[in-house]
Chain A
Amino acid sequence: MLRYARIWLASIRYSLVRAMMFRGDFLMWALVEFFWMSVNVLLVGIIYSHTDSIAGWSQYEMLLLVGTTLLVQRLLMAFFWSNLFEMGRNVRSGHFDFFLAQPGSPLFMVSTRKFDLDGFVNVPVALAIVVYAARQLGLEPSVGQLAAYALFILCGLALHYATLLAIISMVFWLQSAKGIEGGYFGLTEFSRLPREALRGVANVVFVYLLPVIIVSNVPARVLIHGFEPVYAAWMVGATLLWLFIAIRIFHAGLRRYASASS
């Protein structure tokens, strides 16, 4: 376990040095991410300039929800996105062999090789959105609520990781990974919706079958409504279940992998 932590730290250190070598590139990407985050906040502003509530959520409750989603996504971008995105390309090109040849779990090696500083520098921006929204709502969360929020954010990160891993692992069966990451973005869009907005089939699919709504709604609820044991159990249980499913899909794919080139 400690050995893996050391490998991960070494990868992060290497990525930081690399980011500083290409400073212009790093600044540009940080700006790109910042701009995309602003787009989400702008959408909330535009809709609420025409209405007072979305499924019973006020403007700042919605902003808190969107901020929470952005926070989880920035963490995913920082730690896992590039790694899993490149896995899709590497499986096709055969470069994936490189990870299999390393002395460690292939999943760990694939998932932690790179750390994206440009995603990470926007984590404080997402946090600032959450804090701003909480202040506008007059919330004064207790230490317990904040601890639960932090735990749920970590669960959210694990859920996003599992979703992305399951989707990208489809490359083991498909001819090309081109465009399959769109599935991840398609699904995670739903995490910017309040649970109450979903009805009927959509409610069954996106709330109960897929973890895309709870990933943001549960952390946001703990700040707005306080700790609710049912939601906490749901969040932790779903995280464990989806990690299990995604890892199983990855390993099933790995068994199909037959390298490329000669």
Chain B
Amino acid sequence: MSALAKYRQVFLTGIQTNLVYRWNFALRAAFSLLHLVYVFILWGAAYQGQTEIGGFPLSATLTYFTLLLVLQFFLSAANDDYEISEEIRNGLINQFLTKPINYLGYRLSLYFSARFVMGGLSLLPVLLALPLLWPHLTLPGEEHLPLYLVAIPALILSALIQFTIAYCFGLLTFWFLEIQSFVILSLAIEAVLGGQIFPLDLMPGWLYELSRWLPYYYQMYFPAALLTGRITDLGIALQGLAIQAGWTVLLLGIAQLLWRRGLRRHTAVGG
């Protein structure tokens, strides 16, 4: 079996497994629409009496949050860290130590399959709500095309960063019994510095500049900002892409290091 075929099979199996929970995914997607309603009400009220906040009209801010919602389903490594943690604790990773399959590749295939199902299912409620959402949304014009092109590799790198961070947290199980608190703390930091609570450009200038050098910025905010016209300068976009690529390589390196160091501590038991 060629190397790619192995991972393709994992991807297909992952799709089947995830489809079992299709109603839960659909339910979660429907709940997230509630969040969107909250965002629309909050920002609608904040914009009362003014046409712009941070240089953007209400429609631009609402577009940003709507896109972010969709991206979350397509990119967020929702459960991967816990699953990896479980596989280490239960000794399920032992099988990967003796078989010709790379654990990172295996998990990455599963991540893509989960995102494929979750992203697809999340589109349903969003599409249903689109007639209501559309009058409140706005997208940048044709002159923005080069930035859309930058957004394509940015989205792929975002997915890799999302996955690798979750993968690294999962591998912490080699050292800590319980990783849930680390994960939730990281989620909180990601929620703020990844732009899920508010668009990062509304922060004070120095804080925004600082956030641009952190990996969280590239988990979600960067592609969302490129697609919704919050970043309009091509030079800044390309610089961002370079930083994002740097973080991807660095995080993959850390993941490999954790895996190798972790395996040294790991004891496989059983017959």
Contacts and interface: CB of A to CB of B under 8 A. Distances in A.
Interface of A: 25, 28-29, 31-32, 35-36, 39, 42-43, 46-47, 49-51, 53-55, 174-176, 178-180, 182-183, 185-187, 189-190, 192-194, 196-198, 202
B197 A31 contact: no
Given A46-B202, A50-B53, A186-B31, A178 B185 contact: no
B53 A178 contact: no
Interface of B: 21, 23-25, 27-28, 31-32, 34-35, 37-38, 41-42, 44-50, 53-54, 178, 181-182, 184-185, 188-189, 191-192, 197-198, 202-204
B25 A179 contact: yes
A55 B28 contact: no
Given A51-B53, A176-B24, A178-B24, A42 B34 contact: no
A178 B23 CA distance: 10
Given A29-B181, A178-B24, A193-B41, A187 B34 contact: yes
A51 B49 CA distance: 9
A28 B53 contact: no
Contacts of A39: 188, 191-192, 197
A46 B203 CA distance: 6
B49 A53 contact: yes
A54 B46 contact: yes
Nearest to A176: B24
B115 to A, nearest CB: 15
Given A46-B203, A54-B46, A194-B45, A182 B192 contact: no
Contacts of A53: 48-49
Contacts of A54: 42, 45-46, 48
29 contacts: A25-B178, A25-B181, A29-B181, A31-B181, A32-B181, A32-B184, A39-B192, A42-B192, A43-B197, A46-B203, A47-B198, A47-B202, A51-B50, A54-B42, A54-B45, A55-B48, A174-B24, A176-B21, A179-B31, A182-B31, A182-B32, A183-B27, A186-B35, A189-B38, A192-B42, A193-B41, A193-B42, A196-B45, A198-B41
A186 B188 contact: no
A14 B241 CA distance: 52
A182 B28 contact: yes
A190 B28 contact: no
A202 B37 contact: yes
B45 A43 contact: no
A35 B25 contact: no
B185 A28 contact: yes
Contacts of B47: 51
Given A43-B198, A189-B38, A196-B45, 13 more contacts: A35-B185, A42-B192, A43-B197, A50-B46, A54-B45, A174-B27, A179-B31, A182-B27, A182-B32, A185-B31, A186-B38, A190-B38, A192-B42
A35 B45 contact: no
Contacts of B202: 46-47, 49-50
Nearest to B203: A46
Given A50-B53, A54-B42, A174 B32 contact: no
A179 B38 contact: no
Contacts of A198: 41
Nearest to B39: A189
Given A178-B24, A194-B45, A28 B198 contact: no
Contacts of B189: 35
Nearest to B199: A46
Contacts of B44: 197
B160 to A, nearest CB: 25
